Every structure is written in C-alpha cells, then in structure tokens.
Chain A
Amino acid sequence: MELLAFGDTGWGDELFRATLMTIAVSVTAMLIGFSFAAIFTPLKLSKFKSLNLIANIYTTVIRGVPELLVIYLFFFGGSGAIMFVASMFGYNDYIEINAFVTGSFAIGIISGAYSTEVFRGAIQSIDKGQFEAAKVLGFNKFKQFYKIILPQMLRLAIPNLSNVWQITLKDTSLISVTGLVEIMRQSYIAAGSTRDPLFFYSFAAVLYLLLTFLSMKLINKLEVKYSRGY
C-alpha cells in the first residue's frame, strides 16, 4: 500500500494525475471523433456516389488497420505534415506538436470512424415517415434535423456510442508509446523504478475497470433520459 501513497514516497498522486490525463485524452478524442462523424456521416448518406466513396474509404481503412499503426503514423508523421503545411505559408522552422495533441487526434480519428458507422445506422433506422412529416410541416432543413431527427437518432445511437466510448477509452492506453503520461505510461515508469511491474500493471487494470464501470453507469442514465416516452 505504501507504493500508492500520495506525495514523494509513493505513486498515488502520479497515478491519480495519470488517470485524469487518460480521461482528458479519451474525452478529447471522443469529441474529435464526433466532429469527424459530423463530416463523414452526411457523406455516407449522400446521394452522390463519389462522396459515399470518400466516407467509405475513411471508415474501412481506419477500422481495418491496427490502432497502433495509426498512432505511429501520427507520432512520426504528425509534425512533418504540419511543417509541410506551414512551409506552404512560408514558415520553415521546426514545429513540434505535443503528445497530447497527436495522441487525441490519432485516437479521435479512430473513434470517429466507429462513431460515423453508429450515426449512419441510427439515422437509417429512423422511420422514413419522420423525415416526410418534418418536411410536410414546413420545417427548414436545419430545424428538421435539429428538432426531429437528432433527438430520435440520439436515442438509437447511445447504446452503440457507449461501445465506441469503451473502445476509445481502452485505445488511449496505446498512446503511452508516444510518451504521454497517462495510466499506462505512469505504470510503466512506476514499474521500472520500483521493480514491481505485477503490482502496477494490475493496478492500472483496476483503474481502467473503474473508469469503464463508472462511465457505463453514467451512460445508462443518459440512455434512460433519451428513451423517455418509449
């Protein structure tokens, strides 16, 4: 238990901060994922074949390639890509992006591919009559989506989004390879300096279990909220 003490003698406070970091990366990645989904879901549902193709390439490639490979691409290629863009604007100095940004972006793109599929499925399973009714009532496009489609879509999407959240949360452990100090990285450091890997990795497992357990409780509440009236 001494190993988990707060302060200089133990790893308690470090692991606590690392847990907060894991939560921060997961939430950021999830939000980045939602913004990707907001772009690619309409493309998937579009009437134009070429737009469908773009969205399909995105979801197929990301879901068919290991997360770790995507993270390596961003880790090694991220600053290069940014520098390339910057050089087009005449900025030629070295740019380094920090591990948090690379990590949440890499995980965000992965999470976005899963979210896109979830939103597509949810919108497609809304009854056609709802779209027609919205049109008949003379709502404009924005109102149609915001007032009628979105609430119904959320109800259908939440159970699957909770799976995406779990995947995202667990994927953040892979960012430890880029040196960002989240749960996994902190346990690695602690295990190295105390020579007690069994304890620290098991503790990391407990932390992840706690995070998944608590977030499931929270999501269940949301689920109840959005299925009022059903």
Chain B
Amino acid sequence: MDFELMINSFPKLLNAAVVTLKLLSVSLIVGLFIGLLFAILRLNKNVFINKFAYVYSYIFRGTPLLVQIFIIYFGLGQIESIRYSFLWVILKEPYWCAIIAFALNTGAYTSEILRSAFQTIKPGIVEAGRSLGISSKVIFYKIQIPIAIRQSLPAYGNEIILMMKGTSLASTVTLMDLTGVAKYIISTTFKPIEVFIVAGGIYLFMTFIIHNVIKFLEKKYSFN
C-alpha cells in the first residue's frame, strides 16, 4: 500500500469529482425535461406519437451508452451540413457531446419511470378533480405531476446513481472526470489498487449522499 500516493492523489481526484458532478447535474436537468416530454408523448392516444416515443426509449435503453457517446462525438462531425452549421460550436466540444448523450440516455429511462408513475395514478383522483370543476390543465400540473413525482422517486433515485456511474464514460472522449483522472494516475504510477480505493471511495460517498437525499425526499413527500 502506497499511502503517500493515496494522499497525494486525493485532491486531484476531488477536483475531478467536481467535473463528474457538473456533468451529472446538467445532464440530469436536461434529461428530466426530455423524460417528461417523452412520458407525455407515450401516454398520447395517437398511435404514431406514442410509437415514436416508444422507439426512442427502446433504442436508448437497448444500446450501450458508450455507443451513443461515440455516435454523437465521432459520428455527427462527419456530416458536413452539421460541421458548417451553428450546431458545430456545440458538437465539437467533447463536454457538450457527453452531456447530450447522457441527457438523451437518462431521458429515455426517465420517460419510462414517469410513464409508469402516471399510469399508476388511480383514475378516481383525476375524476375527483374533474368533478370539482378543475380544468384538465390544472389537474395535470397540480394533481397528476406531484403524485407522479412521488411515485417515481425510488426508481428515479436509482437512475441518478446509474447516471452518476455513466458519467465515467466521459473519460473515453478525452474529458478528465473522476474516472479519467483516476485512469491517468493509474497509468502513470501503475498503482491501480490505491487509486481505485480513493476514486471508488469518492464515488461511494456521492452514491451515499444521493441515496440519502432521495430517502429524505421520499419521506417528505409520502402521503401518510
């Protein structure tokens, strides 16, 4: 055990963890909107619209995240019309490519979580709102969404943790996130176990925090 290396690499890895957290939070926020949009499309009665949303989530859940990042980072730059458009400003940056891939990926999973949450809302609740003369828009925003959020919290908590682990793939497109820096230190010192303990410990700490925040929210928003 090389404790000196562990102590020396700790601040570097901690700095890199900030990158990981940034990637995670931005992609989660964007992903939540994508997820909500596609969950609503999934519940649409129009066959084409809900099939489209289904195919979207099927493709993103059925392929590895690594493929998705590579298609966006290496693949899209190949299309000339993209290279000469305003999109290129974003797509030439590995940071934004990673975020787009993460957001689309977590959006697909979130849409499934939200869809099943919406479907478990008892019809009686919506009917009660309707019989009170509340407009369907208000029913959706004030009744269905809050209940769906409560229902989906446990599954969404898992999704956040999965996504946090997913951000490690940003290191494959040259970003120096926690895993990227860990790999760099491992490959320069050849001390994989020490670095793994420190980097893994930071990841576990983040998992622990997320887990407890979700648990707290679950308690706060539970009905009884």
5 additional A-B residue pairs with CB within 8 Å, beyond A64-B207, A72-B192, A208-B64: A60-B204, A63-B161, A73-B196, A76-B186, A197-B75
Q: Which residue of chain B has its CB nearest to the CB of A74? A: B192
B214 at the interface (CB under 8 A from A): no
Are B74 and A202 neighbours in the complex by a CB distance under 8 Å? no
Are A69 and B59 neighbours in the complex by a CB distance under 8 Å? no
Docked pose: A63 CA to B65 CA in angstroms: 17
Are A61 and B200 neighbours in the complex by a CB distance under 8 Å? yes
Docked pose: A209 CA to B108 CA in angstroms: 15
The range of chain A's interface size is: 35 or more
Given contacts A69-B182, A77-B192, A202-B75, whether A209 and B203 have CB atoms under 8 Å apart is: no
A213 at the interface (CB under 8 A from B): yes
A170 at the interface (CB under 8 A from B): yes
Residue from B64, B76, B79, B172 whose CB has the most chain A CB atoms within 10 Å = B64
Docked pose: A144 CA to B72 CA in angstroms: 53
A196 at the interface (CB under 8 A from B): yes
Query: Taking beta carbons and an 8 Å cutoff, which residues of A are in contact with B?
Result: 60-61, 63-69, 72-73, 76-77, 80, 166, 170-171, 173-174, 176-177, 184, 187-188, 191, 195-198, 201-202, 204-205, 208-209, 212-213
Are A170 and B192 neighbours in the complex by a CB distance under 8 Å? no
A contact residues around B62 at 8 Å (CB)? 166, 208-209, 212-213
Q: Is the interface of A mostly helix, strand, loop or mixed?
A: helix
B contact residues around A209 at 8 Å (CB)? 58-59, 62-63
Are B165 and A205 neighbours in the complex by a CB distance under 8 Å? no
B106 at the interface (CB under 8 A from A): no
B contact residues around A176 at 8 Å (CB)? 66
B contact residues around A177 at 8 Å (CB)? 172
Docked pose: A87 CA to B208 CA in angstroms: 38
User: Which 6 interchain pairs have the tightest Cβ spacing?
Assistant: A66-B168, A198-B75, A77-B192, A173-B64, A197-B74, A64-B207
CB distance from A188 to the nearest CB of B (A): 8
CB distance from B84 to the nearest CB of A (A): 16
Are A72 and B183 neighbours in the complex by a CB distance under 8 Å? yes
Docked pose: A76 CA to B172 CA in angstroms: 16
A contact residues around B57 at 8 Å (CB)? none
B contact residues around A205 at 8 Å (CB)? 59, 63, 67-68, 71
